Every structure is written in structure tokens, then in C-alpha cells.
């Protein structure tokens, strides 16, 4: 029998050029059981007065997108943009000295020329580890973000509320930002759409395993002294 108590009733932060009163409450990561690589990291925000939430999920660099193998230049650009978005969020909560200790990948041109994609995966994993450690991420919260009020720029990405693909989109007292809008890309309202028709077998599960908090992932202490 269907149980209504199992249905989530969490509201999503509504798109607006500036949403005040938000807080970074959790960082989660998704680990591929085959490669043991961290395939995504999710930053969970909550607007404290309404309880509305918004997840910003960043995937590890991938050479194949929608079945198409992208060029090295496209791959390099995607890596750079992913790091810029994660760094933009991280920097909002850290002092500059701590932020600069987070090491980003070195010479990507040389790595790509050698087709050393394993090294890029390793660099991504290390970057996520260092980011989590710097922010004090655990399975239950983010130490460096506790009590830190932030403003977010939230737009529609298709039919979903999301952070923009290009910073700035987060502002804190430590790292204040002014948000502007480009009407070509920044959409705050959504055109009316017809509801999807439910079809048998349309709810097949896909993708990697369940997302877990940083503290919920078993990792050898000798590999990651920080506990992540």
C-alpha cells in the first residue's frame, strides 16, 4: 500500500536575482563503486525563514556528454568552469589563506596531450577532499558555514531552479558580491507547461549510488588524514 508519510514535502528556493537569508547546510558526494572516484559533489542550501532548499550538484569532468566525445579544448573548458563554480562557493566562507591552500589541477594541457584521464580523475578527487576538509564538512553539516548568512542568485535551468552556470551567484559578508542579470540567460519565471503523462516502467532507477554525506563514506585514515 502507498504510504503518504514517505513523501517528501520540501519546497525549493524560488528563482530570483537575489535570495537573501540562505545558509550552506550540507555537502554530499557521490562515489562510483567501480572506479572509486567521487563522481559528483552537492552543496545543499536552505533559506532559513521559509525552510526552502536548493541543491547545487557539480559532476566530475567527463569526456563523453550525451553520448558524444568532446574535444580536449571543450574538456579543459568544462573542468575550468566546474572548478570556478566550486571555488566561488568555497571562497565565500573561508579566509583567503585557507582558501589558497586548496590545490587545483596543474598543467591540464600536458595531461590531456598524454591522454592521462586517470590523473584528471585523481586530481578531481583530491580537490573535492581538500574542499570538504577546508570547509569542515561532515555527514551532518558544514562547520565553516554554520551561522553564515548568504544570498543566492537562483535561475531556472529548463524547468528546474538552479544556481547559474557562471559566477557570481553567492554572496556573504566575508566575500560580498553584487548580482546582475542577463535576460538572454537568466530566467526567473517559467512558461506554463503541460504535466507529464505517467507511463508504466517510467520510474526505472539510473545513475550512480545514493549520495552520502562526507562523514558517511568509509575511507582509510592513512589515505586521507583529515578524515574525509
- Pair type for strands 160-162 and 38-47: unpaired
What mean pLDDT value characterizes the chain?
82
pLDDT at 57: 93
Q: In the chain, which residues have pLDDT < 70?
A: 1-10, 33, 35-37, 105-107, 192-228
Q: How many domains does the chain have?
A: 1
- Angle, alpha carbons 148-152-154 (nearest 5°): 155
User: Is residue 180 assigned to a domain?
Assistant: yes
27 lies in which domain range?
A: 10-216
User: Is residue 226 assigned to a domain?
Assistant: no
Contacts (Cβ under 8 Å, ≥6 apart) of 200:
none
- Compute the radius of gyration of the chain from its Cα atoms: 19
User: Is residue 211 assigned to a domain?
Assistant: yes
User: Is residue 1 assigned to a domain?
Assistant: no
Question: Among candidates 155, 147, 150, 61, which has minimal Cα distance to 108?
Answer: 61
> How many alpha carbons fall within 13 Å on the CB side of residue 22?
29
User: Is residue 2 assigned to a domain?
Assistant: no
Question: Among candidates 6, 2, 44, which has minimal Cα distance to 22?
Answer: 44
130 and 29 Cβ atoms separated by less than 8 Å: no
**Residues paired with residue 162 on neighbouring β-strands, in sequence order:** 155
pLDDT in tens, 8-37: 556 999 999 999 999 999 999 887 767 666
Eight-state DSSP code of residue 15: P
pLDDT at 157: 93
What predicted TM-score, i.e. pTM, was given to this entire model? 0.79
20 and 151 Cβ atoms separated by less than 8 Å: yes
Amino acid at each position: 500500500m502507498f504510504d503518504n508519510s514517505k513523501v517528501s514535502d520540501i519546497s525549493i528556493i524560488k528563482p530570483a536575482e537575489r535570495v537573501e537569508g540562505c545558509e550552506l547546510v550540507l555537502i554530499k558526494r557521490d562515489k562510483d563503486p567501480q572506479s572509486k572516484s567521487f563522481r559528483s559533489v552537492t552543496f545543499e542550501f536552505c533559506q532559513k525563514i521559509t525552510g526552502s532548499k536548493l541543491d547545487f550538484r557539480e559532476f566530475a569532468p567527463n569526456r563523453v556528454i550525451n553520448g558524444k566525445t568532446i574535444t580536449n579544448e571543450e574538456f579543459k573548458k568544462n573542468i575550468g568552469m566546474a572548478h570556478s563554480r566550486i571555488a566561488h562557493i568555497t571562497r565565500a566562507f573561508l579566509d583567503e589563506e585557507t582558501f589558497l591552500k586548496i590545490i587545483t589541477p596543474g598543467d591540464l594541457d600536458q595531461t590531456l596531450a598524454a591522454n592521462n584521464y586517470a590523473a584528471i580523475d585523481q586530481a578531481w578527487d583530491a580537490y573535492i577532499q581538500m574542499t570538504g576538509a577546508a570547509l569542515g564538512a561532515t555527514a551532518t553539516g558544514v562547520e565553516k558555514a554554520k551561522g553564515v548568512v548568504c544570498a543566492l542568485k537562483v535561475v531556472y535551468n529548463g524547468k528546474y531552479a538552479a544556481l547559474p552556470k557562471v559566477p557570481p551567484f553567492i554572496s556573504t559578508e566575508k566575500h560580498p558580491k553584487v548580482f546582475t542579470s542577463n535576460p538572454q540567460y537568466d530566467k526567473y519565471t517559467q512558461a506554463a507547461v503541460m504535466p507529464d503523462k505517467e507511463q508504466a516502467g517510467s520510474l526505472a532507477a539510473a545513475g550512480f549510488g545514493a549520495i552520502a554525506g562526507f562523514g558517511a563514506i568509509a575511507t582509510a585514515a592513512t589515505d586521507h588524514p583529515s578524515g574525509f
